[in-house]
Amino acid sequence: MKKAIVFLSLIILSCQNKVSEIEPKIEKNDISFFEPSDLGAFGSPTKLVIYASFDECGEWGGHEESFEIFAKKDLNFYAYYKRTKVDCDKLSEFYGKPEFQQPYISKEIRLSEDNIIAVNNYLSKLINSKIKERSPGHAGQTFGAIKTDSTFLINVYDNNKENLDNYNKLLESFKIEKVNYQ
C-alpha cells in the first residue's frame, strides 16, 4: 500500500512539473492589446517601446534595438524599428562614450494582427523571465518594454538565452533579421 501511495505521489508531482512548463500562447481569437487612444491615436505622445541592449563589447555594452509602437489617426498601430551597430575595436577611442554606436537600420512598419499577437506573446514571456531573472554581473543583455507614460514597465537584465530566442521570434514576426549574437 505504501508503495502505491509513493508511486501515485511521484506521478502527480511529475504531472505538476509538466503543466508549469507550458507557456501561455496568445491566439488570434484572444487578442488583447492597447487601445489606439492609449498609444497616441488622438495626439497623445504616449508609445510602447520594446527595447533590447546587447553586450558583444563585454561590460561596455553593445548594439541596441527598439520598437516604438504607436497608433495614428487611422487607428492602426505602427512600429518604428531601430537597430544600431557597434565596433568594439573603437572602444579605446571613445572609452565609456556612446559614440561607438552607429545607426544601422531604421524603418516604420504597420502592425498586422500577427505582429500584435507576437508582441503579446513576447511581453507574456518577458514577464515570466522577469520572475526568473538572475544578475549576470558586469555584462549581460537587457530586454524590456515601457509605455512612455510610465504605466507599464518590464526590464530584464541577465544572460538567459531564452530571452534572446523570445526576442528573435518577435523580430521574425516583423520579418527583420534575427540577432545572431550569443
Return the pLDDT at 21. 47
Assess whether pLDDT exceeds 80 at residue 103.
no
Q: Is 80 exposed, middle or buried (0-12, 13-18, 19+ CB in 10 A)?
A: middle
What is the arithmetic mean of pLDDT over 47-60? 89
**Position 174 confidence tier, pLDDT thresholds 50, 70, 90:** very high
Return the pLDDT at 24. 52
Assess whether pLDDT exceeds 50 at residue 78.
yes
Return the pLDDT at 145. 96
**Position 29 confidence tier, pLDDT thresholds 50, 70, 90:** low
**Residue, of 18 and 174, whose pLDDT is higher:** 174
Q: What percent of the chain has pLDDT over 70?
A: 74
* H or E element at residue 52: strand 48-53
CB 159 within 8 A of CB 129: no
Assess whether pLDDT exceeds 70 at residue 22.
no
**Residue, of 20 and 126, whose pLDDT is higher:** 126
What whole-number distance in Å separates Cα of residue 152 and Cα of residue 162? 22
pTM: 0.77
Assess whether pLDDT exceeds 90 at residue 158.
no
- Contacts of residue 25, defined as CB under 8 A and 6 or more positions apart, other chains included, come to 121
What is the arithmetic mean of pLDDT over 24-36? 69
Per-residue pLDDT of 107-155, as tens digits, reads 899 999 999 999 999 999 999 989 888 777 667 889 999 999 999 999 9
**Position 15 confidence tier, pLDDT thresholds 50, 70, 90:** very low
